[in-house]
């Protein structure tokens, strides 16, 4: 599962990252969802989870994002002014099932921050304006 804060604001770092991780772990425990691997980047969260068959993914995501928003706003009161209406997470999320490539996805989630840093260091200098076609 991948989901992000509203407007992709970079809010997940330092103390907030630890507290948001605790909140998400506790909510997953409440529903009996096993976290296999998880990583919080500054502007999104990756989670590899095992959801029991009695739970639908959409209802679990609604629970997770809804309850975590309320608890995040209780913990960090100053975020209420940035986000308003108590919507911390953006509306959408990405979910995919895992078959034989479970190990590859675990490695991807573990190395996500390192990969992001490496891609930020690579920069391509464009000698032509891609919109105007001139130098």
Query: Catalytic residue numbers?
Result: 108
Q: Is the Cβ–Cβ distance between 50 and 34 less than 8 Å?
A: yes
Q: Is the Cβ–Cβ distance between 35 and 28 less than 8 Å?
A: yes
Q: How many CB atoms lie within 10 A of CB 109?
A: 18
Q: Is the Cβ–Cβ distance between 51 and 29 less than 8 Å?
A: no
Residues 6+ apart with CB under 8 A from 91: none
CA 62 – CA 108 distance, rounded (Å):
25
CA 47 – CA 95 distance, rounded (Å):
9
């Amino acid at each position: 599962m991948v989901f992000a804060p509203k407007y992709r604001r970079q809010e997940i770092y330092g103390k907030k990252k630890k507290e948001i991780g605790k909140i998400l772990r506790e909510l997953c425990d409440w529903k009996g969802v096993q976290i296999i691997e998880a990583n919080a980047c500054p502007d999104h969260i990756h989670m590899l989870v095992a959801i029991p068959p009695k739970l639908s993914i959409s209802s679990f995501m609604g629970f997770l994002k809804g309850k975590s928003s309320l608890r995040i706003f209780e913990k960090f009161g100053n975020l209420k002014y940035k986000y308003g209406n108590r919507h911390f997470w953006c509306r959408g999320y990405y979910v995919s099932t895992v078959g034989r490539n479970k190990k590859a996805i675990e490695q991807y989630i573990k190395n996500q921050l390192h990969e992001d840093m490496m891609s930020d260091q690579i920069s391509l200098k464009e000698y032509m304006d891609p919109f105007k076609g001139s130098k």
